[in-house]
Amino acid sequence: MKQLLYVLGLLVIAGTISGCQKDNNDSNQTNLSCPAGTTFYNNACYTGAGGYVQPATYNYQNGFYADTYSGTSSLRVVNGAKMTEFFKFGMGVCDRAGGYNGGQSSCQAYVGGSMDMIIQFPPNGGNSLLATFVAQPRYNPYFNYSAQLPSGWGALGIALGYVTGVFLPDPKQYNGVYRNPLQLELAVSAINNSAGFSANGYGDYWSGLNRTKITIEVAQGKIQDNQFSFIFKVGDVPAAQGSFTRCQRQNCGL
């Protein structure tokens, strides 16, 4: 019991540290970082249950965020079809069933929901960045539901399974990985006579977008700035756009 109380105490302290704000201009500071979903405390990373993960590293120091809800940055969808593709095949958060996907299981709930997009640069500057995407479906304060139904062939496979004991997979079901948050390391190159930069890579190896180009393009802006506009592209097609703002929390609150 004492060990449990000690772990809980660590988590409370860690949450307090993570929530503290620092000077907005942190371009000359080095921030210890932890993987998304873990908590920074005493130079190490812990799970939500208090389990030790790894020492905090110096991989990323300059962090910027964009979201749909805070008002201190901006992020908006400009191509619903492309964002649906990203949410379904890139993150695996929606439209996974072969037949019907309704409510918060539908990609439309994510296109109309909330999203965070975070980029972090290594201390030496500019050849790569870590992009983190966090998506939440649209929330109704009165009523929410999720519904998933198999396709006709999938239902037949289930019926045959009950009779024969051999369940056939639904051929229309999406079986890629679920990644929320999704983290991608993107290569960075200068554009517009070095006035801006473009970060490019591909989707998660185990996802349906593992051969699709993912781009964050900043026409004018540098990592020394506190804010700059961007375009998010899926397969070279603009899907969202907005404005990044420098993070004010340890590891951008991840």
pLDDT at 48: 61
Contacts of 244 (CB under 8 A, 6+ apart): 64, 65, 66, 73, 117, 119, 218, 221, 227, 228, 229, 230
Give 10-residue mean pLDDT values along the chain (254 residues).
37 34 37 61 68 63 91 96 97 86 91 96 80 94 78 48 56 82 91 95 92 96 94 98 92 81
In the chain, count of helices (H) and strands (E)?
A: 4, 14
Its sign, for the CA torsion 75, 62, 60, 71, is negative
pLDDT at 150: 62
Backbone angles phi and psi of 164, in degrees to 5? -100, -20
Burial of residue 163 (number of CB atoms within 10 Å: 0-12, 13-18, 19+): exposed
Going by the DSSP 8-state scheme, the letter that residue 107 receives in this structure is H
Q: Where are the alpha helices (DSSP H) in 100-222?
A: 107-111, 152-164
d(CA 225, CA 27) in angstroms, rounded, equals: 8
Give the long-range contacts of residues 201-205, CB within 8 A, separation 24 or more: 201/131, 203/89, 203/90, 204/90, 204/177, 204/179
pLDDT at 28: 37
Contacts of 86 (CB under 8 A, 6+ apart): 209, 234, 239
Backbone angles phi and psi of 243, in degrees to 5? -140, 125
pTM of structure: 0.75
Its sign, for the CA torsion 125, 240, 210, 36, is positive
Tokens of 212: 């699709």
d(CA 228, CA 32) in angstroms, rounded, equals: 24
Using the structure block, give the residue that is written with the tokens 């991989």. 59
Which amino acid is present at 6? Y
